[in-house]
Amino acid sequence: MTREEIIEKGQVVYKKPTLLNDTPMHYCPGCSHGVVHKLVSEVIEEMGMTDKTIAISPVGCAVFAYKYIDVDWQEAAHGRAPALASATKRLWPDRLVFTYQGDGDLACIGTAETIHALNRAENITIIFINNAIYGMTGGQMAPTTLLGMKTATCPYGREVSLHGYPLKVTEIAATLDGTCYVTRQAVHTVAAINRAKKAIRKAFEYSMQGKGSNLVEIVSTCNSGWKMSPEKANKWMEENMFAFYHLGDLKDTGADK
């Protein structure tokens, strides 16, 4: 059987989600953002919310997300995506509203907005891409940078005495009464990608059912910022990031509400 025959007669097992358009993505080769974009597109399509989704894009690498996923987007000021999402959801409760933010945006400049929006139980979902570094601006230290990790602004590694401890935003979110579903996922293997997709779907569903705010953290790689190949970056993430940022659901009260 030739390859052409399989393509002609066979069924399509996987193709790029139609919601993800053909614009070439500006992300570096092997960046986790692309995978998360695909997952978000797939989930929105499967939920049939294509025309009823309003997404908020952040400042950071993912700022151009509005160019790639064909839903309505708003661009927030740096770190202010949860505030904009709160307003959008309150004005338009039947819309699926989510923000897509990196760690520099969410865990640093936008800490206050994030925590208060989550605690107000706004029916939104926050997708938090944590790669422990400021990717877009050239690999500076972020609040989530691991101890001992070298970046452009801590070339000898992050030290407690000088820089303090890494911030676990997701753990903080899990302690807030306003949150419904708080989880930490990764997208480095097929199994992890499938789990992350389920988590995103659950979060979107809870936010549409009005069960409170949801946070999905995706522990990601930044191979350019970490100065590694994409493959090595995935390994480094498994060995170092997962030891500090444990994967799994931290809170799920959706079934009780």
Partner 1 sequence: MAKMKGATVVDTERCKGCNLCVVACPLDVLALTTKEVNRKGYNFAHEVLADTCTGCASCATVCPDGCITVYRLKTE
Instruction: Identify which of residues 32 and 125 has a Cβ nearer to partner 1 in the complex.
Output: 32
Q: Does 162 bind partner 1 (CB under 8 A)?
A: no
Do 60 and 102 form a contact (C-beta atoms < 8 A)? yes
Give the shortest CB-122-to-partner 1 separation in angstroms. Answer: 30
Q: Of 68 and 134, which has the nearer Cβ to partner 1?
A: 68
Residue 55 CA to residue 72 CA, distance in Å, equals 6
Residue 239 near partner 1 by CB under 8 A: no
Q: Does 1 bind partner 1 (CB under 8 A)?
A: yes
Task: Tell me the backbone φ, ψ of residue 71, rounded to 5 degrees.
Answer: -130, 180
The CA R_g of the chain, rounded to the nearest whole Å, is: 18
Binders of partner 1 among 193-212, rule CB under 8 A? 193-194
CB closer to partner 1, 29 vs 155 = 29
Interaction mask 22-61, partner 1, x per CB under 8 A: x-xx-xxxxxxxxx--x-----------------------
Q: In this complex, which beta carbon is closest to partner 1, that of residue 29 or of residue 48?
A: 29
Other C-beta atoms closer than 10 Å to the C-beta of 167 total 17
In whole angstroms, what is the distance from residue 105 CA to residue 58 CA?
7
**Single-letter amino acid, residue 168:** K
Q: Choose, by CB under 8 A, the member of 137, 175, 209, 229 that binds partner 1.
A: 229
* Least CB distance to partner 1 at residue 76 (A): 24
Among 87, 78, 64, 139, which Cα is nearest to 107's?
78
The size of the interface with partner 1 (CB under 8 A), counted in residues, is: 36
Q: Is residue 9 a contact point for partner 1 (CB under 8 A)?
A: yes
Q: Does 255 bind partner 1 (CB under 8 A)?
A: no
CA-wise closest residue to 208 among 125, 127, 126, 100 = 125
Report d(CA 217, CA 102) in Å as an integer: 9
Report CA dihedral (239, 244, 245, 247) to the nearest 10 degrees. 60
Which helix (H) or strand (E) segment holds residue 154: the answer is none
Alpha-carbon span 57 to 79, nearest angstrom = 10
Binding mask 168-197 for partner 1 (x = CB under 8 A): ---------------------xx--xx---
19 vs 180, beta carbon nearer partner 1: 19
Please identify, using beta-carbon distances, which residue of 12 and 243 lies nearer to partner 1.
12
Distance CA 19, CA 52 (A): 13
3 contacts partner 1 (rule: CB under 8 A)? yes
In whole angstroms, how close is the CB of 176 to partner 1 at the nearest point? 32
Place of tokens 């865990």: 107
Max alpha carbon distance in the chain (Å)?
A: 65
Q: Residues interacting with partner 1, by CB under 8 A?
A: 1, 3, 5-7, 9-17, 20, 22, 24-25, 27-35, 38, 189-190, 193-194, 229-231, 234
